[in-house]
Structure 1
Amino acid sequence: MANPDAIIIGAGPAGLACAATMRGAGLTVTVFEKAGNVGSAWRRHYDRLHLHTDRSHSGLPGMDMPRAYSAYPSRLQVIEYLESYAARFDIRPVFGTEVSCLRRDGTQWCAQTASGPLSAPVAVVAIGIASAPYRPSWPGSEAYRGAIVHSSEYRNPAPYLGKRVLVVGMGNSGGEIALDLAEAGVNVALAVRGPVQILPRDLLGLPILTWTILYQHLPARLVDTINAPILRLALGSFEKLGLRRAAKGPRQMIDEDGRVPMIDVGTLGKIRDGSIKVRRGIDRLTNDCVVFDDGKSEGFDAIVLATGFRSDLRGLIPDMESVFDAYGRPRVTGQATDVPGLYFCGQTVSPTGQLREIGLEAQRLARDIGQYLARRRERRERLRVKAAFVTPS
């Protein structure tokens, strides 16, 4: 395998977008993917999943999503799109190859794999943020006799028919999984520990993302102040449903805390009609019951942890503490880090849509990496010319 200009780790949306834009800039790349196909995370998501961002704002650079797709594309449509994207730009990842370690060796980055090392002057880490499920535990978890699964393992309601199910967490996955179960007639409750923010998927006939993009250059507090009255009108008072409204508005929550508000695709309606019950946060478990932090207890046959993901990349790139925060998340994404030749793409949530942000980051990285490599070549050429004029003594 010839040494490329750049190594890209991951063949999800971020890795594919980076490969396409960098190759378009005349750079050679090698894409490593530990799974056997592109978009592996999307293949693991639950069956009913649809994008919460509309089709027109979700295409990657150089290729729009087909107009034949749903306004909010399904999981299978996203997989089909990623496969078509890779084919169109002739991106051929090295499948079934995990990069166990990425180290800087002089002016090169060396990726260690089971099939041997590969070096390049640039490394782009495009591992999706949904690669490391977070699984909290509570006192009594070991005694609980029911099934406890993470949302990444949930597929559809079939295994839960006739059972009592508690979904933990009211983010987008939790809200939609609870809705999926409720629509199938499953006895389901949502455990909601703290205050929440909720957005409608569409507002005044337009996708909510359209409004977010419109306001993207305004301060977060101002945006939330402007939007608060119309959001209350669109959603009603969800405090009456046993939910607490967060003090921070939706945009401020994303910008300051990295938390994405729940996009309502029908969950509030099922809470209003009683199909989905709302419960407080979990205090502890018994062999067949959940005890909530308000002291009430209830029996459940299964618990679905819609508790998100926490990716710590320090094990992948050791001895590079400066590029990570205290949790092992990159300090910057979509731009140069403070270590020459190291870049990240798609490693943070965005108020204007994750796929859209990935596309913007990939285009920016292709430009910046091209300039970085050009400067490297110029320096080497200057040194070569200088050395040619040195007369041996």
Structure 2
Amino acid sequence: MKETFDTIVIGGGQSGLACGYYLRRAKLNFLIIDKQQVAGGAWLNAWDSLTLFSPADYSSLPGWLMPKSENKFPLKKEVIDYLSKYEAHYQLNVKRGVETIQITKDNSFFQVHSNQGIFKCKTIISATGTWENPFIPKLKGLENFKGLQIHSRNYKNPDAFVGLKTLVVGEGNSGAQIVAETSKVTTVKWSTKRDPEFLPDEVDGYYLFNVATAKYKAEKEGKPFDASQYNLGNIVMVPPVKEARKRGVLVSSGSFHKLTKNGVVWDSGMEEEFDAIIWCTGFGYATDYLKSLVKTDERGIAKTQESRSLEVDGLWLVGYGGWTGYASATLVGLNRTAKQTIKEIEEYFKVYS
């Protein structure tokens, strides 16, 4: 492609679309490239029953409210539909089926090398999130286990686990929700490094965003802030988790240190057999394609000030959570980071144009 864009956004999920909204308002010549064939970002690959943690009123991208849902928390299909219509509503310039391989910089221009050729631009926004970089701890015997073994990234529904004694690993929201769902069809145990901590029933994602915002503001002003009562990593009591609590299945069996051919060895020394393991152990950051530009650690993190790269002029990273902007991995928290990023890009062009 011979055209040189002001900005190319890598990733067409919620972060890329929010940036597109502000790039459009700034009248910058931009292109969003995305490896998916349709709109929806990571939501396209999430498990079937996943919902938002906040009501629709508090889960919108900039400029256009998410339609109300019949459910307290919008369903996966409703979120995908909203993202698709949002993209069309603002006529955002998205090119699909484009997988970014690497990005290089020659003088003042970036070259985005992809499966569909090279795209050229003056600035880059990396907005690829975490979904493509699932993390599984390197425990002894991991490769020896002969049963079914998947990461939550590849979990869709409990159908494949009917009749299989299953171990779910991880104390976060995904672990709790998958325990809740699979325990309806088979015998399940839950392995966590620490006792699972649950938020009060009335606390949802919007409340957590407000806590995160207050904490962020306090830190900026050098003031103390106690958010211990509402730890942002604690489990949100969405309806399936509440139902599972009533059934008494959300009880941790503790942690294990080794896998065997047929199961695990618990920290107590006891061995137990399992037919399947579901790893709900989180993600790194999907930033491998930036390695020609910046140094990244084992999780994929590069040095930034908020979303602006500290190593390469003209590079921003948006939507990676607390690393690049408070609560920026959520729909409700993304707006501030996207808006500030495009403002910085406008200032960049004033200096370098």
Q: Matched residues in 2 for 1:335 and 1:207: separation?
A: 22
Q: Matched residues in 1 for 2:346 and 2:65: separation?
A: 24
* 1:333-367 deviation line (CA, Å, top 9, x unaligned): 75432321111100124458722222211111121
Query: Judging changes above 3 Å, is the alpha-carbon distance between structure 1 residues 211 and 371 closer, same or farther for their aligned structure 2 residues?
Result: closer
Match of 1:331 in 2: 303
8 Å contact from structure 2 (residues 318, 337) kept in 1: yes
* 1:138-159 deviation line (CA, Å, top 9, x unaligned): 3233332210011011111111
Gaps of 5+ in 2: none
Superposed displacement of residue 116, structure 1: 2.1
Superposed displacement of residue 198, structure 1: 2.9
Query: Judging changes above 3 Å, is the alpha-carbon distance between structure 1 residues 352 and 345 closer, same or farther for their aligned structure 2 residues?
Result: closer
* 1:2-29 deviation line (CA, Å, top 9, x unaligned): 2111111000001111112101111111
Q: Matched residues in 1 for 2:51 and 2:340: separation?
A: 27
Aligned partner of residue 124 in structure 1, secondary structure: strand
2:225 counterpart letter in structure 1: L
The question of 1:262 aligning with 2:235 is answered yes
Aligned partner of residue 321 in structure 2, secondary structure: coil
Match of 1:70 in 2: 71
Match of 1:91 in 2: 92
1:191 counterpart letter in structure 2: S
* 1:180-235 deviation line (CA, Å, top 9, x unaligned): 112x24211110013554323524x995336526734345963235xx3xx7xxxx
* 1:46-88 deviation line (CA, Å, top 9, x unaligned): 1110111332222111111112453321111110011011000
Q: Matched residues in 2 for 1:268 and 1:188: separation?
A: 17
Q: Matched residues in 1 for 2:305 and 2:60: separation?
A: 19
- Bigger Rg, which one: 1
Match of 1:215 in 2: 214
8 Å contact from structure 2 (residues 4, 122) kept in 1: no
Query: Judging changes above 3 Å, is the alpha-carbon distance between structure 1 residues 98 and 207 closer, same or farther for their aligned structure 2 residues?
Result: closer
Give the alignment's TM-score, normalised by structure 2.
0.88
1:248-327 map, 5 Å: 250-251=231-232, 260-265=233-238, 266-267=240-241, 270=244, 273-311=247-285, 313-321=287-295, 324-325=296-297, 327=299
8 Å contact from structure 1 (residues 270, 276) kept in 2: yes
Superposed displacement of residue 97, structure 1: 1.1
Q: Matched residues in 1 for 2:262 and 2:148: separation?
A: 10
Aligned partner of residue 374 in structure 1, secondary structure: helix
Q: Matched residues in 2 for 1:347 and 1:206: separation?
A: 17
Query: Judging changes above 3 Å, is the alpha-carbon distance between structure 1 residues 142 and 375 closer, same or farther for their aligned structure 2 residues?
Result: closer
Match of 2:318 in 1: 345
Q: Matched residues in 1 for 2:172 and 2:116: separation?
A: 39
8 Å contact from structure 2 (residues 128, 287) kept in 1: no
Aligned partner of residue 370 in structure 1, secondary structure: helix
Aligned partner of residue 148 in structure 1, secondary structure: strand
Match of 1:380 in 2: none
Match of 2:338 in 1: 362
Quote the RMSD (CA, aligned, Å): 2.6
Percent sequence identity over aligned pairs: 26
2:207 counterpart letter in structure 1: I
2:198 counterpart letter in structure 1: I
8 Å contact from structure 2 (residues 54, 205) kept in 1: no
1:198 counterpart letter in structure 2: F
8 Å contact from structure 1 (residues 201, 208) kept in 2: no
Q: 2:352 aligned to 365, 376, 387, which one? A: 376
How many aligned residue pairs are there?
343
Gaps of 5+ in 1: 232-249, 252-259, 378-393
Q: Matched residues in 1 for 2:327 and 2:97: separation?
A: 33
Query: Judging changes above 3 Å, is the alpha-carbon distance between structure 1 residues 291 and 42 closer, same or farther for their aligned structure 2 residues?
Result: same
Superposed displacement of residue 374, structure 1: 2.5
The question of 1:224 aligning with 2:223 is answered no
Match of 1:235 in 2: none
Give the alignment's TM-score, normalised by structure 1.
0.79
Aligned partner of residue 351 in structure 2, secondary structure: helix
* 1:83-139 deviation line (CA, Å, top 9, x unaligned): 011000112421111111111110111111233212111111010122211123432
The question of 1:169 aligning with 2:145 is answered no
1:101-112 map, 5 Å: 101-112=102-113
1:337 counterpart letter in structure 2: S
